[in-house]
Structures are given as C-alpha cells and as structure tokens.
Amino acid sequence: MKLIPATLLIASCAAQASTWHVSAQWDLRVSASDAQHAWTRDGLGKFASDRDADPIQAGPAFLRVERELGAHARGVVVVSAQGDRARVLDLNEAWLGWDPVPASAWRWRAKLGAFFPPNNLEIDYDSVGWTPGRTISASAINAWIGEEIRVQGLELAWAHNGRLVGSPHEWGGVLAVHGRNDPAGTLMAWRGWSVGDRIVGITESVRLADLPVYRSRGELAAQSRNLRIAREVDGRAGYYAGAHYVFSNVLRVEALGYDNRGDPLQLVNGQYSWRTRFVHAGVRVTPDARWTILAQAMRGDTLMGPDAVRLDYDAQYLLISARYGTGEWTIRHDRFQTRENPRDIIASDPNGERGRAWTLAHARPLNTHLTLVGEAVSLSSTRDARRLIGESVARTERSVTAAFRWRF
C-alpha cells in the first residue's frame, strides 16, 4: 500500500491550500476480478489489475492546483498518485491559461503547457484529472487517451455563446500545435485497447508485454520495453483541430482530428516515433435533469518504421445514465478493434484484435465530499498476439468494484 503516504500528502495539500483554487479526488476500493495477466503486469489483459491484485486497494489520487496570475491568466497543475508506479507521484498536466472576460458573445481562451486534447465527454464539471464522473472505469476511447495521448504545446479555443444575445445556439472551435507525443501508438499496437482509469504520468515509464518482436533477436530489437509517452523523437510539431455545436442545455455535438505528424523512421533511446492520427466525434444529449446520453466514436491509424507496424483502429461507446432519488445509474457499451494494414511487413508480429465490453455502475453521494460508486464490467476480446506469450487468444474478463470516492 505504498500509495497511502502519497494520498495523504495530496489530501494535506488540499486541506491547507486555502489561498489557492484546489481540488482533489481519492478512492478507497474493494474489488474482485477473474482477469489474468493485466497489461500493467507484463500481460495482454484489458484491465489494469487482475485476480492477483489485493482485494482492498487505495485507488488513484489526484490533486489539481490552480493559481490566478492576474486578471485573465492562471496556472494549473494536476498531480496524481498511482500505487503501481515505480515513482508513485507523477505529473498529469501543467499549463498556463489565458481566459479573458468576454466583451461580446465571443469568448477566447488559450493554454500553453502539457494537457489532454478536449474530447472526453465522460468528464463531469467536478471531475479531477482525466477521470469519468459516472463510473469508475473510462470507456476504451477515453482510457487510451489517458494512457498514451498527452500533448505539450499551445492550444487556442473560441466559442460564440448565443445565450448572451438571446439565442439557444453556441458554436466554436479549437486548434493546437504540439510536440513531445511521438511514441503515441505504441500501446495501441502492442497492447491494444483497454477499459479502465489508469492515467499515465508525463515522466512515467510503462512496461510493455514481453513480445518476441522487440526481444534481443527480434525484428525490432531497438525498441525498449519501457514506453515513455511524452518524448520528442523527430523534432516535428503535430496538431489537432476541432469544432463543437451546442443547443441550449439539451445537445452538444463535437468533432476533433489529431495528427502527431510523427516521422516513423526515427528512433531515439529505444523510443520510435509513430505517425499516429485519429478523428473523433461525440454527442451528449440531456433531455431533462434526470437523463444523460453520451456517445463517442474514434477511427485512426498508426505507423512505425518502413511498414514494420501499420495499424488501423476504431472504437465506439454508448452510455445512458439516469438519476433516481439521490443516486445515478449508468450503463455503457463499448466496441473496439484494431486491424493490421495489408502493407504491414512483419507477419510474426500480429497486432489485430476485436472486443466489446458492458459496464454497469451506480453512484450515490453519502455527504458533501464522499460518494459510493459501484461498478461491474464484463469484457470479451480476441487477440492473436497473446499466444506468443503463452496466453489464450480469446478471453472474457470480469470485475466488480466498490469505491468510496472522496472529493474536495
């Protein structure tokens, strides 16, 4: 339980930093699972923990600190504590923001630093970090973003708020130029999709499964098994661009395209540059205060080397949430797959997979700061690469978790 001291440090900071804008979140969890060989334990499972994990665990802890830097500027830092890291504490985000008070229906803002792209509909207004608000685990789409996509650069966003001029319509856009995310695509290729809430820190090293392709005699022996997502390998800037439309408080539609413009022929210190791209679309419908419907879809591709790994991937989910009394019930269905492109040249390195997951969750506030969240997940998947490390190609993994979630 080496996470406990770091969690207490985060809680202490949250309690004492009254001159700052501070929020924190921490879970104490009781769980049971029949999953084998979690991906965080050198396996190719779809969960971050498995049946060998302790049934009672300290879940991830997050601390968000915001400081006003004048009339229109602020600094934001998000730190997390995770028990399965070599170094428990790590940085999730750190950025400077410019957010002037609008003089008209138009509003502009800018961010400079390290942050996530704005495409997670599962985040609630009071979520801390890249964590879902209605469930414990994130969908496959948002779990992968939390694991492998972290941009460092400049983001500019703008929106026209029709309510300020008597209209129910809002629209806007976002554009960012970034670097230091060249290894993005490594997990997608050699681990595939997952369902969970394992946020990878900016300085963290993630251990890949022991696949033959990057062993000492493998075709890609120069690839390190220790993945570092926030590395600049090729010196080229990437970008993402998006747009959104909102109708009153009922409908939000958004789309975003990401391209890290990686040079797939570059390698530095065991980290390849992957050319990773995706397009994303999302819809949120809230017909009344009781019901929420979320849907997201992603399609992309990634390339490393001269067609050493060439992969197409896509995922979708539908989430329906309903409030009953003081609690909220949520059901989510995920579908995901990866497909090797015919031009992929290493036949001994199969990276295709297919899977689906059902998630049922219930959240009930116990007081102002404490919420009890229960969740059951059943995930079925097939992946040919599992046989290379002695695992079964097809498997169904299940977990049941109760979390006492403290928020400040």
For residue 76, give the 3-state DSSP assignment: strand
**pLDDT exceeds 50 at position 284:** yes
Percent with pLDDT over 70 in the chain: 95
Q: Give the pLDDT of residue 19.
A: 59
Q: CB neighbours (10 Å) of residue 263?
A: 16
- Contact (Cβ atoms closer than 8 angstroms) between residue 328 and residue 134: yes
Mean pLDDT for 93-111 is 94
Mean pLDDT for 40-44 is 95
Q: Which amino acid is it at 189? A: A
In degrees and rounded to multiples of 5, residue 133 shows phi and psi of: -95, -25
Q: Give the pLDDT of residue 133.
A: 87
SS3 content of the chain, % helix, strand, coil (to 5): 10, 50, 40
Length of the chain: 408
Domain that holds residue 149: 3-407
**What is the band of 338 on the pLDDT scale with cuts at 50, 70, 90?**
very high
Count how many domains the chain has. 1
Burial of 147 (C-beta count, 10 Å sphere; 0-12/13-18/19+): buried
Q: Which residues contact 355 (CB under 8 A, 6 or more apart)?
A: 46, 192, 193, 334, 335, 336, 337, 379, 380, 381, 382
For residue 144, give the 3-state DSSP assignment: helix
CA dist., res. 61 & res. 82, Å (int): 7
Got the DSSP string for 299-321? EEEEEETTTTEEEEEEEEEEEEE
Range of weakest confidence among 11-20, 96-105, 242-251: 11-20
Taking the mean position of all CA atoms in its chain, how far away is CA 408? 22
Q: Give the pLDDT of residue 127.
A: 76
CA dist., res. 309 & res. 385, Å (int): 13
Instruction: Give the mean pLDDT of the chain.
Output: 93
CA dist., res. 337 & res. 297, Å (int): 12
Q: What is the pLDDT of residues 294-319, one digit of tens each?
A: 999 999 999 999 999 999 999 999 99
Whether the CA torsion 244, 229, 47, 223 is positive or negative: it is positive
CATH code of 311's domain: 2.40.160.10
pTM beyond cutoff 0.85: yes
Q: Which residues contact 70 (CB under 8 A, 6 or more apart)?
A: none
**pLDDT exceeds 60 at position 181:** yes
Q: Which residues contact 388 (CB under 8 A, 6 or more apart)?
A: 211, 212, 350
Q: Give me the long-range contacts of 47-52 (CB less than 8 A, separation at least 24).
A: 47/194, 47/195, 47/196, 47/377, 47/379, 47/397, 47/399, 48/84, 48/194, 48/196, 48/197, 48/198, 49/399
Mean pLDDT for 358-382 is 97
Mean pLDDT for 137-145 is 97
State the number of CA atoms in the 13 A half-sphere of 136 facing the CB: 31
Lookup result for tokens 């300290």: 58
CA dist., res. 140 & res. 278, Å (int): 14
Rg (CA), the chain: 21
Taking the mean position of all CA atoms in its chain, how far away is CA 157? 21
**pLDDT exceeds 70 at position 101:** yes
